[in-house]
Amino acid sequence: MVLPNQIALLKNIFKDCVLCPRRCHVDRTQGELGYCRLPAKIMMDCALAHHGEEPPLSGTRGAGTIFFSSCNLGCIYCQNYQISHCTYGQELDSLALARVMLDLEKRGCHNVEPVTPTPQTPLIMEALILAREQGLIIPFVYNCGGYENPQIIKLLDKMVDIYLPDFKYGVAEDGAAFSAVSDYPLYALDSLKEMVHQVGAELEMENEVAKRGVIVRHLVLPGKLENSRTVFRLIKKEISTSVAISLMSQYTPTLKVQNHPLLGRRITASEYQQVLDFALDLGFENLFIQEVSEENLLPDFDRENPFK
């Protein structure tokens, strides 16, 4: 059961924003802007049935993905930079967003999955409660970048069914170089612990579709194998090897980093295999794995369906 004051507490945080570990302490209700440059409003790019997520999320009818503008991380290589590096989009109120969620359910989607919810969490959760009151029954998936404030994740208890956080960096220096955060592993771990505490480490399934649990995503970056290995070491040491991990191979240099000395190339099949072998050797068994392909897998948010 959702506590009546959970949404009120979340919305109040807009006045002294600590929704993520950047803790900008700006009053977004008065027009002050922090690192994410978002107002205290919902800024949405698009909502669609997404068939490219992990199989238990996409199922046969697609994940109900809602892409939001901006992000609290701003990774220089972001595959979604067209929307995550800017703040414009459709301005919605919570009721309008609830209707978007209900429409995704009506279209047959297996879940509702906001990306990236972190800087807009209070109003997204308010919309979720409104949608639930109007009959929404599909799971709610919190698809975030992993750089979360654990105190905020605590406030999401009983509202989130499936957590889908990235665990981008095990090596803090890589987080500093690519996402301008010096403490990524610390916050990613503490938040993940809280997520597992709320929904469990095992992924609960029904008819091959996820209903509850956690899937951690890790994108292998070119030449950054020690970063990947450290991610697995930390999760094993601090949490469990039974957490489901999605080991992603699709890193593709965007225009912004095509000349970057490290990030300007795809990963090789050998790099991916080395990380996969390391994870298996550590005892991780619940792994979603991908082929390393030559295909351009970057979405294009200028198209109606960015993934076609």
CB 12: neighbour CB atoms within 10 A?
12
CA–CA distances in Å: residue 98 to residues 42, 68, 131, 302, 305: 11, 14, 5, 24, 21
Q: Between 58 and 149, name the residue whose CB sits nearer to ligand SF4.
A: 149
Q: How far is the CB of 79 from ligand SF4 (least distance, A)?
A: 20
Q: Does 71 bind ligand SF4 (CB under 6 A)?
A: no
CA–CA distances in Å: residue 293 to residues 27, 118, 229: 45, 31, 22
Q: Between 29 and 79, name the residue whose CB sits nearer to ligand SF4.
A: 29
Tell me the C-alpha distance between 17 and 61, whole Å: 37
Q: Which amino acid is at 85?
A: H
Tell me the C-alpha distance between 32 and 302, whole Å: 29
167-186 positions binding ligand SF4, by CB under 6 A: none
Binding track over 18-37 against ligand SF4, x by CB under 6 A: xxx-xxx-x-------xxx-
Q: How far is the CB of 62 from ligand SF4 (least distance, A)?
A: 28
Question: What is residue 244's DSSP assignment?
Answer: E
34-53 positions binding ligand SF4, by CB under 6 A: 34-36
Q: Does 188 bind ligand SF4 (CB under 6 A)?
A: no
Dig out the tokens for 85 from the structure: 């590096």
Phi, psi of 151, rounded to the nearest 5 degrees: -65, -30
Q: Between 36 and 98, name the residue whose CB sits nearer to ligand SF4.
A: 36
Q: How far is the CB of 234 from ligand SF4 (least distance, A)?
A: 23
Q: How far is the CB of 138 from ligand SF4 (least distance, A)?
A: 26
Name the one range near ligand SF4 by CB under 6 A: 14-22, 39-47, 172-180, 232-240. 14-22
Quickly list H helices, the chain: 5-12, 55-58, 81-84, 94-106, 121-133, 150-154, 172-179, 184-199, 225-238, 269-282
Name the one range near ligand SF4 by CB under 6 A: 15-23, 247-255, 258-266, 271-279. 15-23
Tell me the C-alpha distance between 226 and 248, whole Å: 16
Q: Does 17 bind ligand SF4 (CB under 6 A)?
A: yes
- Give the residue, chosen from 58, 72, 84, 228, that forms a contact with ligand SF4 under the rule CB under 6 A: 72
Q: Between 35 and 272, name the residue whose CB sits nearer to ligand SF4.
A: 35
Q: How far is the CB of 251 from ligand SF4 (least distance, A)?
A: 24
Q: Between 107 and 154, name the residue whose CB sits nearer to ligand SF4.
A: 154
Tell me the C-alpha distance between 275 and 150, whole Å: 28
Q: Between 36 and 214, name the residue whose CB sits nearer to ligand SF4.
A: 36
Q: Does 138 bind ligand SF4 (CB under 6 A)?
A: no
Q: How far is the CB of 97 from ligand SF4 (least distance, A)?
A: 17
Phi, psi of 12, rounded to the nearest 5 degrees: -65, -25
Tell me the C-alpha distance between 181 and 246, whole Å: 23
Q: Does 119 bind ligand SF4 (CB under 6 A)?
A: yes
Phi-psi region of 223 (alpha: psi -120 to 50; beta: other; left: phi over 0): left
Name the one range near ligand SF4 by CB under 6 A: 11-19, 213-221, 238-246, 265-273. 11-19
Dig out the tokens for 75 from the structure: 């990774």
CB 116 within 8 A of CB 68: yes
Q: How far is the CB of 29 from ligand SF4 (least distance, A)?
A: 12
List of residues contacting ligand SF4 (CB under 6 A): 17-20, 22-24, 26, 34-36, 72, 119
